């Protein structure tokens, strides 16, 4: 997979879906790739699984978000590997190959938008589209050392994209440069939401949840953020505990996953790779009462977080509690990382908040990201702040 036709194994094997961009536009001169759950007319969307590919014809229409990038002048260079049905955070794909993490080749690239993160980290394109339900842009961005955004839920259309858990699904993107990340947002996001953000909040739970060396490595970036926004205020955002966040996220997500994909899974009974198989098995038998409790918890947390951030406050915390796990990790170790990670990614997930992750540090030779999180609709302000912070902290872009 890592031959010259497919560096880092980032792209879906087979003929490359390539499209020229418009002759002018705000993204002229930029190249991009798209996660293989977005439709490109004339090609089959595989959703990371050969049985999905076999049971779906070529797309008639190109997903509007892809079309908007093309119309803005960007050139499409190919479709990137996703984990099977986007249901995981490692980036492993048994069928099409697991992309290499260009920033730490012995570690997972992160997922599910693994190929998009690898393509950007390996400088194969200027930006790449992914999707993020429970961390599928934020985590691979953190693991591969690139910028990534999970926009406000619903701010960017997912028409023409395969679903996972619709009330959590978002269309995000990656770039190696904060300014490119922002420029893509100017094309894809609705107008508005600019203007200053502040004060800076430091939520206690995700910082305490992070590995101590991760928290320490991110301090210089936090100090840079304080130079821009003033001293950070410590706040509790998850007094119930991040483990409770994870459990409610898992139950409410699983219910939606089965509602979206259970019909197809039941009809075809496809084989799944490690981890993914367990999650679909759990989704199939998820107790409706647990899912309902998850939804109720989510509503409470969402109201609380929206209240906290409505005046313009911005939270900063480690995107992932640890750098990417090594590729030879046991399934048990990966499951432990998953639970710790989703407790954090559920914060923005529950409330539909925009989150930008910045490649702020390295720990043991592997990247880790610092996230900035704001109120729904403040995506443009957040992208501007991320660019300012990257400059202030002397980071890429």
131 annotated active-site: no
d(CA 51, CA 337): 29
**Binder among 91, 99, 172, 193 for its own copies (CB under 8 A):** 193
Question: Catalytic residue among 113, 116, 131, 136, which?
Answer: 136
Residues, the chain: 397
**Binder among 18, 186, 208, 287 for its own copies (CB under 8 A):** 186
Q: How many helices, marked H, and strands, marked E, lie in the chain?
A: 13, 10
For residue 85, the 8-state DSSP code is: G
d(CA 322, CA 333): 12
Q: Report the residue number, 233 or 296, with the smaller CB distance to its own copies.
A: 296
Q: Counting contacts by CB under 8 A, is residue 28 touching its own copies?
A: no
**Binder among 1, 14, 22, 211 for its own copies (CB under 8 A):** 22
Contacts of 190 (CB under 8 A, 6+ apart): 155
**For the window 298-327, what string marks contact with its own copies as x by the rule CB under 8 A?**
-x--xx--x---------------------
Q: Report the residue number, 91 or 349, with the smaller CB distance to its own copies.
A: 349
What tokens does 230 get? 């003033």
Of 158, 99, 97, the C-alpha closest to 124 is: 99
For residue 156, the 8-state DSSP code is: S
Cis peptide before 112 (omega within 30 of 0): yes
* Interface region with its own copies, contact rule CB under 8 A, candidates 7-15, 181-189, 250-258, 279-287: 181-189
Q: Supply the minimum distance, in Å, between the C-beta of residue 255 and its own copies.
A: 13
Q: Report the residue number, 26 or 274, with the smaller CB distance to its own copies.
A: 26
Please check whether residue 321 is in contact with residue 217, taking contact to mean a CB–CB distance below 8 angstroms: no
Could you tell me how many residues of this chain bind its own copies (CB under 8 A)? 39
**Binder among 48, 64, 115, 318 for its own copies (CB under 8 A):** 64
* Interface region with its own copies, contact rule CB under 8 A, candidates 109-117, 147-155, 213-221, 322-330: 147-155
d(CA 89, CA 335): 10
d(CA 339, CA 335): 6
Q: Counting contacts by CB under 8 A, is residue 196 touching its own copies?
A: no
Instruction: Name which of residues 344 to 373 contact its own copies (CB under 8 A).
Output: 351-352
Distance of alpha carbon 96 from its chain centroid, rounded? Answer: 20
31 annotated active-site: no
Q: Counting contacts by CB under 8 A, is residue 123 touching its own copies?
A: no
Any idea which residues carry the catalytic annotation? 35, 112, 136
């Amino acid at each position: 997979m890592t031959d010259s036709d497919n560096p880092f194994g980032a792209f879906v094997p087979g003929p490359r879906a390539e499209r020229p961009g418009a002759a002018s536009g705000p993204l002229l001169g930029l190249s991009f790739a798209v996660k293989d759950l977005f439709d490109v007319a004339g090609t089959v969307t595989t959703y990371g699984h050969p049985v999905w590919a076999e049971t779906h014809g070529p797309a008639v229409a190109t997903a509007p978000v892809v079309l908007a990038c093309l119309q803005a002048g960007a050139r499409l260079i190919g479709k990137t590997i996703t984990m099977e049905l986007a249901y995981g955070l490692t980036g492993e794909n048994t069928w099409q190959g697991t992309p290499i993490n260009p920033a730490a080749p012995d570690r997972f690239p992160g997922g599910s938008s693994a190929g998009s993160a690898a393509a950007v980290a390996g400088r194969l394109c200027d930006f790449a589209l992914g999707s993020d339900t429970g961390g599928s842009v934020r985590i691979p961005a953190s693991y591969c050392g690139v910028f990534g955004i999970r926009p406000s839920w619903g701010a960017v259309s997912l028409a023409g994209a395969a679903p996972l858990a619709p009330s959590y699904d978002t269309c995000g993107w990656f770039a190696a440069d904060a300014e490119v990340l922002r420029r893509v947002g100017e094309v894809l996001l609705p107008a508005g939401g600019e203007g200053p953000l502040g004060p800076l909040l430091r939520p206690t739970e995700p910082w305490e949840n992070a590995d101590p060396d991760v928290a320490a490595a991110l301090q210089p970036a936090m100090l840079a953020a304080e130079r821009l926004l003033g001293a950070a205020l410590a706040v509790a955002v998850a007094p119930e505990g991040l483990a409770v966040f994870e459990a409610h996220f898992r139950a409410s997500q699983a219910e939606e996953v089965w509602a979206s994909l259970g019909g197809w899974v039941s009809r075809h009974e496809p084989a799944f790779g490690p981890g993914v198989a367990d999650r679909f098995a759990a989704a199939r038998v998820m107790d409706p009462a647990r899912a309902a409790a998850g939804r109720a918890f989510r509503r409470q947390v969402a109201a609380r977080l929206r209240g906290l951030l409505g005046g313009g406050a911005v939270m900063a915390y480690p995107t992932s509690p640890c750098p990417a796990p090594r590729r030879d990790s046991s399934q048990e170790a990966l499951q432990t990382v998953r639970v710790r990670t989703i407790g954090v990614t559920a914060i923005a997930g529950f409330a539909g908040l925009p989150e930008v992750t910045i490649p702020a540090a390295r720990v043991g030779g592997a990247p880790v990201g610092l996230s900035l999180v704001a109120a729904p609709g403040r995506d443009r302000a957040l992208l501007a702040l991320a660019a300012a912070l990257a400059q202030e902290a002397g980071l890429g872009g």
